[in-house]
Amino acid sequence: MAYEWVDDDRAVISARYDRLAGLIPFFEWVLFLPRGLRKAAVERLALRAGDRVLEVGCGTGRNFHHLYAAVGPSGHIDGIDISPGMLRKAGELCEQRRWNNVGLIEADAADFAAPTPLDGVLFALSYNTIPHHLTVLHRVWSALRCGGRMVIMDAKLPPGAAGHVILPFSVWLMKRTLLGNPHIQPWRHLEALAGKVEMEEYLFGSYYICSAVKP
C-alpha cells in the first residue's frame, strides 16, 4: 500500500541528515513547527542548575540554548547524533556561544553508554527518525535516575479522518526529506515504561510533547 513504511538503515539516515544540516530552520518553517515548542519541551524536563541532561538526536543544537538556560554553567549537556554534518553545526554553535559544558558525541544512540545518572533525557523531533527507537528508548531510560524526566517532542498525524487523509502524503514527504516514520506513537512506548505519561498537543494535534517521570 502507498502508505506503508520501510525503515532505512543507519548509513542512509546519517547521509540524509548530513545533507539537511543547513536546512533545518527551513523545514521548521515549511512544516509549521509551533513557535515556542522547543522551549516548552525543555521546560517539561523540570531541570535545575547543575543537572545533567542528554539530548538524543541533538542535530544542529537548536535546543541547546534552552537546555543551557535550564542547567546553567554548572550543569552538563550531552548531545548525541549519528550525523557528523549535524554535529559540525552544533559544534560551531557551542563555540560561538562559549558553552563549555556541552559534550557532542557522534554515535548511534543504541550503542552509546550514557553517563549515569541522568537528570533528564530529551528527544526533540528525533524519535520517529530512529528505526531502532525502542532499543534506544530502553537504553537511555535505564540511564535516567529515579525521579528524572524524559520528554519526547515530535510531529504526528492529526486525530480523526484528517489523519487518514494526510497519511499517504506524510509517508511520501518524510521518505524524501526527514525520514520520520508517521506510524510511530512514542507516547505509548513511554507509557509502557513509566506507567503514566503527560501528553500535550499543539497545532490541531499535529505536534505534541509527551513526558514521564521515572519511578
Do the domain assignments include residue 187?
Answer: yes
pLDDT of residue 106: 97
Do the domain assignments include residue 63?
Answer: yes
- Cβ atoms of 78 and 114 closer than 8 Å: yes
Tell me what the pLDDT averaged over the chain comes to. 94
pLDDT of residue 192: 97
Count of the separate structural domains present in the chain: 1
Do the domain assignments include residue 2?
Answer: no
Do the domain assignments include residue 192?
Answer: yes
> What is this structure's pTM?
0.94
pLDDT tens readout for residues 87-133? 999 999 999 999 999 999 999 999 988 887 999 999 999 999 999 99
Residue 67, classed as helix, strand or coil, is helix
How far is it, in rounded angstroms, from Cα 182 to Cα 191? Answer: 18
pLDDT tens readout for residues 56-66? 999 999 999 99
pLDDT of residue 13: 93
The CATH number covering residue 64 comes to: 3.40.50.150
The more confident residue out of 38 and 160 is 38
The more confident residue out of 164 and 72 is 72
How far is it, in rounded angstroms, from Cα 105 to Cα 113? Answer: 11
Give the residue numbers spanning the domain of 68.
10-213
Do the domain assignments include residue 177?
Answer: yes
How far is it, in rounded angstroms, from Cα 51 to Cα 66? Answer: 13
Do the domain assignments include residue 166?
Answer: yes
pLDDT of residue 2: 46
